[in-house]
Amino acid sequence: MGPHFSRAMQTRGHEVPKYLIVITDGESTDNVMAPAKELRQQGVTIFAIGVKDSNEADLLDIAGDPKRTIQVNNFDALKSINEDIITDICTEDACRDIQGDIFFLADGSESISKDDFIQM
């Protein structure tokens, strides 16, 4: 994700707030801590959203802060948390005229059914 954020800044030429929202429903099969830490050091604020049987330790490693980890029981429940994330990212008055980079990283592995991927 780092190159995506870098490329976005280069196209605009100035710094804006950067957010990454990671949605996963299982345990990571690779190291998530090092790349997430690198992104946070670049100024990216990461939210880690776990669905169903997600791994709490992985979510914390990704977000780096328990306040930015969220767990829901199913993909339909993602709708219920969008206001919380929007409020954490920016209030309406404070961000009315401010651009920002927001990327979503969604688990597209075989563990996600087609219907759940569409819900996500």
pLDDT string in tens for the chain (120-residue length): 888 888 877 777 777 778 888 888 878 888 899 999 999 998 899 999 998 888 899 999 999 999 999 999 888 888 778 777 777 777 666 566 666 666 676 666 666 777 877 776
Closest of 38, 36, 111 to residue 69, by C-alpha: 36
Q: Tell me, what's the pLDDT at 2?
A: 83
CATH number of the structural domain spanning residue 104: 3.40.50.410
Query: Any idea which residue has 């990704």 for tokens?
Result: 62
For residue 90, the enclosing domain spans 2-119
Question: Distance between CA 12 and CA 10 in Å, rounded?
Answer: 5
Closest of 117, 23, 32 to residue 72, by C-alpha: 23
Bridge-based pairing of strands 101-106 and 69-72 is: unpaired
Q: Tell me, what's the pLDDT at 66?
A: 94
Q: How many CB atoms lie within 10 A of CB 80?
A: 10
Domain count across the chain: 1
Q: Tell me, what's the pLDDT at 119?
A: 72
